[in-house]
Structure formats: structure tokens, C-alpha cells
Copies of this chain bind each other. A is one copy, B any other.
Amino acid sequence: MRKGRLLVISGPSGVGKGSICKKVIEKEENVEYSISMTTRSPRAGEVDGENYFFVTAEKFKSEIAKDGFLEHARVYKHYYGTPKANVMEKLAAGIDVILEIDTQGAMHIKESFPEGVFIFILPPSMTELRSRIIGRGTDSESVIELRLGEALKEISYIDKYDYCVVNDDLDEAADNVISIINAEHSRVTQNIYDVIDKYKEEI
């Protein structure tokens, strides 16, 4: 049976990775988001087990102790992590799992799960990224410069990734990610020996 693949997707803030992931999940059957676990409180409209698994700090720490995360991090007062069990169940059921995460988190995943498919989303240009960030209309000039510096720092991790996709046109970028998913399912991997054995039995 087809085994799912873990797709680890990073890219600078403002590049549109969220929109790409959403589009891919809309277009493709058998591709789902990974659901993170967090100790922060649910916001209005957020559903436990759908947006996040909302847990207490005690529960989170016991999961860390049980090696229950592919990666986890503390951001200010709260913990966030990718629960291993949730991802593994989906992969075993043949579902591809999308994990949208920053480069730091992705590098942790690469250590704990090197068989993931690491995809980096690039802006068509830094000028374009700048205007997308400005377009949000929420940041002051100095914050924009900070974000662009941060973006360059993120992009410098690109050589740790398997693929890069330029988000010029949203549909094209999503199709590009879908091509990567399809190609990865055509990789010659260990399970190919089952195929050969099956053939040998037949003749």
C-alpha cells in the first residue's frame, strides 16, 4: 500500500506558504495538515483536535519526556510541538502530511525524521516580498526592514531543503508542490523489493 509522505514546508514570512498549502489540500485528496499541540489557550473559533491539540503544560511536558514530538519549541510563555503519533498514523494510512514550519523547526524535523520531503517557498524577488509585507499594512518601516532581514536569514537555509518553489502565481506554485508530491511517490524506495518479489512469484 502507498505510504504517506511528510512534507515540511518553510519560507519567509509573507511569501504565501499558507495559501499554497491550503490550495494543495483543496486540490489533492489524501493530503492533510499536521495538527500541532500547544499550551496556549484556544482563540475564538479554534477547535481542539482540528486547529491544535490544546493541552496543559503538564501534559505537554510529559509528552516531551515520552519523546512524543517530531519537534517542539517554546515561544515566549507557550509550548508548541508536532506530535509524532498524529503524523505517523496519517502516514501509515497513506495520507501525506503537510507541516508548515520555520527553518529552525524544519531542521529539528530533519534530525528526527530525515525521510521527510523538505520544500522551501521563495518569493519571485525581495522587492516583491517587501511589497507583500507592506501590503499587509500593519508594519512600520523599521519592522519591515527587520522582517526582510529575517527573510534573508530564513532563505540562507535553502541548501538544507530538497526542493524550492517560487510563489509567483499561487496556482502554479500549488501545482508545483503537487508535482513534487507525485514524484516523491514514484521514488524507487525500499518497498520496490516487494514489487520485484511479486513479479518473481508470478513467473
| Chain A residues at the B interface, C-beta cutoff of 8 Å | 119-120, 122, 125-127, 130, 148-149, 152, 155-156, 158-159, 161-165, 175-176, 178-180, 182-184, 186-188, 192, 195-196, 198-200, 202-203
CB distance from A79 to the nearest CB of B (A): 31
A-B contact pairs, 17 of them (CB 8 A): A125-B202, A126-B203, A148-B203, A155-B199, A156-B196, A158-B192, A158-B196, A162-B188, A163-B187, A164-B187, A164-B195, A176-B186, A178-B179, A179-B182, A179-B183, A182-B183, A183-B183
Which of chain B's residues has its CB closest to A187's CB? B163
By CB atoms of chain B within 10 A, which of A130, A148, A199 has the most?
A199
- Complex Cα gap A161–B152 (Å): 36
- Complex Cα gap A176–B182 (Å): 7
How many copies of the chain does the oligomer comprise? 2
A161, B188: Cβ atoms under 8 Å?
yes
CB distance from A146 to the nearest CB of B (A): 12
- Complex Cα gap A148–B165 (Å): 42
B186, A164: Cβ atoms under 8 Å?
yes
Chain B residues in 8 Å Cβ range of A192: 158-159, 164
B198, A125: Cβ atoms under 8 Å?
yes
By CB atoms of chain B within 10 A, which of A119, A180, A186, A196 has the most?
A186
